[in-house]
Amino acid sequence: MGAGVDWTAVFFQAGGRLARGPFLFASALLLIAGGLYEAVAGSALHWLTGWVVYPALIYCGACVLAKRLHDRGRSGWWSALVLFALAGLWPQSPGGLGVAFALVLAWAVVELGAMPGEEGTNRFGTNPLRPAPAAVV
């Protein structure tokens, strides 16, 4: 899965672009980590460690989402909407807002998981699948 992908930058830096494959892999890792934490942490542990675990997951999720949104030519600030919808549905869906949250997540799955990135260079950087050739001096 991408020898050229800087995984530290994927999870901890919001700038730049991220191709679909590494995005799906990173998103799966974050969802699995959140699910495992929910399954393992009891209520007492949840109160003690949740203050650290959840902000870390949200920050890493925002970075991953922002990079993928940049690849699609969108502002990284849209990641706030996606994370808000995910938090609203995790671990169970509330009543009427659940439909709106589900629609936002459905949009995100199609937009970020199914659609290709913009061809060539955009305002957020070069295409991660086809980087610009190095200038010959």
Tens digit of each residue's pLDDT (9 = 90 or more) over 110-127:
999 999 999 999 999 999
What is the pLDDT averaged over residues 8-32? Answer: 96
From CA 7, how far away is CA 67, in angstroms rounded? 12
CA 40, CA 31: separation in Å to the nearest integer? Answer: 14
- Specify the pTM: 0.87
For the chain, the domains span: 14-114
Q: What is the pLDDT of residues 32-45, one digit of tens each?
A: 999 899 888 877 88
- What local confidence, expressed as pLDDT, does residue 45 receive? 84
Residue 92 has pLDDT above 80, yes or no: no
User: Which amino acid is present at 135?
Assistant: A
Cβ proximity of 61 and 30 under 8 Å: yes
